[in-house]
Structure 1
């Protein structure tokens, strides 16, 4: 497994990259966000996008209209008091 650190403007970032079978796995150590790809470049590009989503730097919540177009009732689009599934923690 390879790991790398670099000094950013405000903090140090560390990623880890390793291969499992035919897939490359990339993890942002600070956030715990992990992605994969068939190549190193793809795994790292996927990680960049996933970390940006995690940090609310890209993406947005769907509108009620978009939810309805996908067959989802916006009133049912809540987790309520339920804890998210383990996979989402």
Structure 2
């Protein structure tokens, strides 16, 4: 993309730059949000980037399901019955 094309971006569409790294992996960079992500292919790098952008801008993530908690070794009933106090290390 030329510099003129970058300057003409009207803000409605994200400007993404894909770069192949010396190790063969790819880096995708969202120029407006100033976040990068890496992947084995350009498509994976872009997918990883959009996941990170969604999480950072508040559009991503969800309350974990019971199955997701169990996969992490957490008892869903116990996790949801906490009183809301943070552990000392997180305060």
After the TM superposition, which segments of 4 or more aligned residues of structure 1 sit over 6 Å from their partners? none
Tell me the TM-score normalized by structure 1. 0.58
Q: CA RMSD in A?
A: 3.6
Aligned residues: 74
Long gaps (5+) in structure 2: 76-81
The answer to whether 1:75 aligns with 2:86 is yes
Q: Counterpart of 1:85?
A: none
Of 43, 51, 54, 2:53 maps to 51
Tell me the TM-score normalized by structure 2. 0.57
List per-residue Cα deviations over 1:14-57 (Å, max 9, x = no partner): 11110112200001111111101010111111111111111111
**Secondary structure, aligned partner of 2:86:** helix
Quick check: which one's helix share is greater?
A: 2
Long gaps (5+) in structure 1: 81-89
